[in-house]
Structures are given as structure tokens and as C-alpha cells.
Copies of this chain bind each other. A is one copy, B any other.
Amino acid sequence: MRGVTSGHRAPSGRRAIGLDIGGTNIRGAVVADDGTLLAEVSERTPETSDGTTMTKILLGITQQLHAQHPEVVAVGVGAAGIVEWPAGLIRWAPNNSYRDWQVRAELEEATGLPATVDNDANVAALAEARLGRDRYSEMVFLTVGTGVGGGLVLGGVIYRGPSGRGGELGHIIVAPDGPRCGCGNRGCLEAVASGTALTRMGREAAAAEPAGVIARLGREEEDGVVTGHTVTRATELGDPTALDLFTRLGRWLGIGIASLANIFEIEAVVIGGGLVATGDLLLDPARAAYREHAYATEARPVVPVRVGTFGTDAGVVGAGLLGLEHAEDRRVHAVPPERATR
């Protein structure tokens, strides 16, 4: 456990505990309603990420934060995978072994606080749409990291579909005869425009050019293994092969963006996730490919493609915000009928 750190300012307003459950880390924070993080805890996701093991970790983090900040009014969770809405039951996740995990019920029972659970990219989209530098009521959000997650904001609210199974933007098909995705299918956006795709492309490049910069960095700096990070490092050295890989990756991202921007009438596309730290290296070719494939530009604007405001904090900020937004709904339901009319 990384330990508890304190935020730099303490605004007024309501606060919630936000929990961000990823394939690599589980992060918890006390989140103010303006998005400020007041305290933080982080832990590695265990190898055996079944529901029982995960609940123990979540409760440990939650109790630690709750003890520090007894004023919190709710818990919000963003989790990788398919989350049944509004039940807060995580059905399935591609990179975690939990299945049919009753997260909301377990958190509410243990903490006595109203809890709300959603997909991790949905909560990150919520943070960006509500509290980002620019606020949007119509937005496509893509998080480009190990995979590609998606969140849709339509008419000011997250689109989830009736039971939370909607909004899987990383699994639109952009290269039907292309590489296999982590989900098992072929040619998903995630299969060609993610950190995993960059790793695959980097390894292919290293095998094709054993004397090249990517292969050398892999041997010298990365314990002999080429990853997406190796490719990013190689671009910093100006390696043309690595720069070309980013152009290809960004082009795929832009093709996915074009499909989504042609379907939805949006104000902007916001990109989060680890890979967006490379900035225009990824986004310039993405913007170019989107413009190339944008429909009916005589009558439909090509919208900005922007880097998100919250970086890798978007998940935990959005989780807290989700908890706050739905604490009210939950409290209304919790009022006994005889008091509900007062």
C-alpha cells in the first residue's frame, strides 16, 4: 500500500470516496465535489482478482479513507468490465478474474454509505465532462492505455443502455481482418490503437530491425523485453521507426474517432489514459485520420480532439463524483414511505 497522502487544499462542499479498480492498480481517494483529491490510497490489483479477494482490498481502502474523512456522504466505484446498472454488480471483465461480483451491496453493507458502481471509462468520462477545463454535455471520451475504454456523454448524462451494457467504444470494429483483440475478437479499435497494440508493433519492429533503436533499448533498458514504453522512449531519441509506429497507432485511433463522431453529434472528443501523455505524437495523426473520414463536413463540424484534464486521476475523480451525484437518488429511495411526503 502506497500510504495515505493529503491533498493540498480543502474546499468546502460535499465529499465522497472514489474507488478506481483497474487491471494493475486499485486506487481510492476522498473526492470533493469540485474534483479535488483530499486523501489517496493505492494498492496493486492481486493476481487472483476474484470478488472475495477484491472486496477485502476495497473495504480496507474505504475504511482507511472513511476514518480520515468521516464527513464523506457516499462511495463511488469505477471498475474495468461490464457493470450492471444500477445494480452495481460487475458481471465480467476482460483482464480481471472477478465474475458476478456484488460490489454495491457489499460496500453499502460494510460502510453504511450509499454506493454507486459503474464502468471505469464511464466515470472518467463523467469527470472530464463535468469538471474538466471545458465542460461538455455531448462528448465522446476514449481512454487509451493497456486497452481502449470508452464513455459517452449524451444530453449531459452518461449513456449506459438500460442495464449498463452499452458504451463499449473500444470494441467497434475498425480492422476486421486485423490483429486479435484481448477480448478474443479480431480488429477492435482496442486491438490496433492501445498500449497493447504499441507493444505488439514495437516487438515486430525490433524483430525486423535487430540493430535498430527499439531493439537496442529493449535489450539495454527494459530487461530484454520491448514494450510500448520502449517505443515511446525511442521516439524521444528521434527514432524514425518508433515515430512511424506512433503515426500508425494514431491513425487507427483517428479512424475510430471518425466512426464515433459520425454517429454522435458531439462538441468534442476527449482522450485520456496513459498513452495520451505522448500528446501530439499520438493525437496529430489521430486528428488527421478523423478529418479524412469525417462525414459531410459541409454540414457537420469536425470537432476538437483534446487531451483530458485529469490524466490518470480521471477514474478516481469520476468515481467520487458518481458517488456524489447518485447519493441523492439513493437517499430518496432509502427514506421510509411515511416520511417521503413530508
Contacts and interface: CB of A to CB of B under 8 A. Distances in A.
A169 B162 CA distance: 21
Interface string A149-190: 000101100011111111111011111100000010111100
Interface stretch (A66-74, A102-110, A255-263, A326-334): A255-263
Contacts of A169: 263
Contact of A138 (B94, B162, B187, B298): B162
B296 A168 contact: yes
**What band does the interface of chain A fall in when counting residues whose beta carbon is under 8 Å from B?**
35 or more
B300 A165 contact: yes
Given A159-B154, A162-B138, A255-B176, A296 B183 contact: yes
Contacts of A264: 161, 166
A138 B161 contact: yes
A296 B162 CA distance: 17
A92 B298 contact: yes
Nearest to A84: B299
Contact of A299 (B92, B166, B262, B299): B92
Interface in A58-100: 82, 91-92, 94
Contacts of A171: 262, 295-296
A305 to B, nearest CB: 15
Interface of A: 82, 91-92, 94, 138, 152, 154-155, 159-169, 171-176, 183, 185-188, 255-256, 258-259, 262-266, 289, 292-296, 298-300
12 contacts: A82-B300, A152-B263, A155-B162, A166-B264, A168-B262, A168-B263, A168-B295, A172-B263, A173-B262, A174-B174, A185-B295, A263-B263
